[in-house]
Amino acid sequence: MQQWPYISALLSDVMQSLPLFKPELCLTGLFLMVLAIDLIYRKNGVNGSRTLACAGILLVMVANWGQYILLDDRTEMLFAGSLILDHGTIVLKMTIDVAAFILLLYFTWDDDLKAHKKGLGDAYSIIVASVLGLHLMVMSGTLLVVFLSVEMVSIASYLLVAYRTGNGQSAEAGLKYVLFGMAASAVMLYGISLLYGLSGTLSFAGPQMAQQLMLAHPAAVMLAMLLVLAGIGFKLSFVPMHFWVPDVYQGASTPVTAYLSTLPKIAGFGLLAALVRPFAAGQLGGDISAILAVAGVVTMIAGNFAAIWQTNIKRMLAYSSIGHTGFALMAILTFNAQGAKALNFYLGAYAVANLGVLALASYFANARNAHTLDDLKGLGSKYPIASVCFVVLLVSLTGIPVSAGFNAKVLVFSAVYNVYEQAHSPFMLALLITGAVTTVVSLFYYIKVPLYLFLKRPDDANVVHPATSRKLLTLIVVLTVVVLLLGLFPDVVANFM
């Protein structure tokens, strides 16, 4: 009988949490409907699955915007603290939803993926399910939700990477990703069990875990944190958990590469920021900062310098993605609101530019089977609109003025420099110097693309060019315009971050 008051309070909390869980409930229903259409109609229902998935994601965006207005700078704890909802998490959820909507449009315009014999119905349902897992990642308030949400996204990623089952490269990439992912999940789960054993709680949102860990043996605590960070680092692909990225990005279908390089990264950074924030004030925060600062410096150096030697476009962008991961780690290490806003803007700008660049990789692959830099020789005059968009989007990824990427990098540098002025931390100084140097280094490989497009002579000048996808080009132009608008008018979006 003594349990009844507790059960009643728990049920009451669940009922109060459900209205704020509306976007995730919509995603659950959407997944079931898209899956049902695919099971019933199979290939004949692919267009219906895609239309329903796109419409459902738009509905989820509206629900998230309603939450953003409703919260009014409040933080809500859902389901007994298992999930956390505030403006920062809603911004990340909306960024994920926008990127997912773009991907749902993009998937069917990649000729290689569209030609697969089993169709794309399964892919749409997988993406919708993964978006639910991504939402839970950024809202996580306990280590249990962290593990479950990461595994939801991991399973979806495994399925997408190996989606082209008849393609040898895709199958190899899928196998590598699954093996490395299983190892990373096991390591993270062991770290979670250690943290629970040392602190006696699964919740990391409140002060209890940080306080209890301060009483435990420092070596045991650091081991547990390292194991958890290794699991999250696998999703973010920072050094030394980056080794899978080049092969998997190159072997997977280009739209899947676009998925891997944007959505899980956005959610992973949101999760990492939420996980380390409670420890910022204590001694453990200094240790975590040192680990992440070293990881950030090494990741920026390794990613950007390795990209210089790549000739395959997707492999070059894979190493570029690793470099951007290191740069984004700088914003997390500020442990303040300015850094959080800078991180959100950076992730949004990076996602738009990266999706555009990989859509261009699909565009040139569709048109000329171009997969390497040599394949791009002289195509700038033959596909002028796509080539100009390619240059603009790479300018944004580099961080050159009048682009979204420039404003994003300025915000991150400003947040880190303000922290350095107050604390004079050598780690912050190292991050600032490395970030500036590697931004210059990135020019050396990004500039290769316009060099081959406009300054190299084509090897097949007299070849008749096949028709290209106007829909895919339209999407690319829209993304390019967004990058330019965010470069010229950053406050329009930055004020909502």
DSSP characters over 234-265: HHHT-TTTTTTHHHHHHHS-HHHHHHHHHHHH
Distance CA 269, CA 340 (A): 10
Here the tokens at position 168 are 């040898």
Decide if pLDDT at 41 tops 60. Answer: yes
Helix 313-332 to helix 404-423 angle (10° resolution) is: 40
Whether residue 11 is predicted with pLDDT greater than 80 in this model: the reply is: no
Instruction: Quote the pLDDT of residue 104.
Output: 92
Q: Flag the least confident range among 15-24, 182-191, 201-210, 275-284.
A: 275-284
Q: Of residues 211 and 472, which shows the higher confidence score?
A: 472
Lowest mean pLDDT among 49-58, 147-156, 201-210, 341-350: 201-210
Contacts of range 63-69, beta carbons closer than 8 Å, 24 or more positions apart: 63/22, 63/23, 63/26, 64/23, 64/90, 64/93, 64/94, 64/97, 65/94, 66/22, 67/20, 67/22, 67/23, 68/94, 68/496
% the chain with pLDDT above 90:
49
pTM over the 0.75 mark: yes
Q: With cut-offs at 50, 70 and 90, classify the pLDDT of residue 422.
A: confident
pLDDT at position 1? 44
pLDDT above 70 covers what percent of the chain? 94
Neighbours of 369 (CB within 10 A): 11
| Distances, alpha carbon 344 to alpha carbons 63, 338, 384, 479, in Å | 19, 10, 32, 18
Main-chain phi, psi angles of 400, to 5 degrees: -90, 145
CB contact at 8 A, 296 and 236: no
List pLDDT tens digits, range 270-292.
Answer: 999 988 888 776 667 677 888 89
Within 8 A by CB and 6+ apart from 465, the residues are 367, 368, 382
- Confidence category of residue 458, pLDDT binned at 50, 70, 90: confident
Can you say how many angstroms the Cα of residue 210 is from the centroid of all Cα atoms in its chain?
27
pLDDT one-digit tens code per residue, 147-186 = 999 999 999 998 888 877 666 677 777 788 888 888 899 9
One-character DSSP codes across 417-471: HHHHHHH--HHHHHHHHHHHHHHHHHHHHHTHHHIIIIISPPS-TTPPPPP--HH
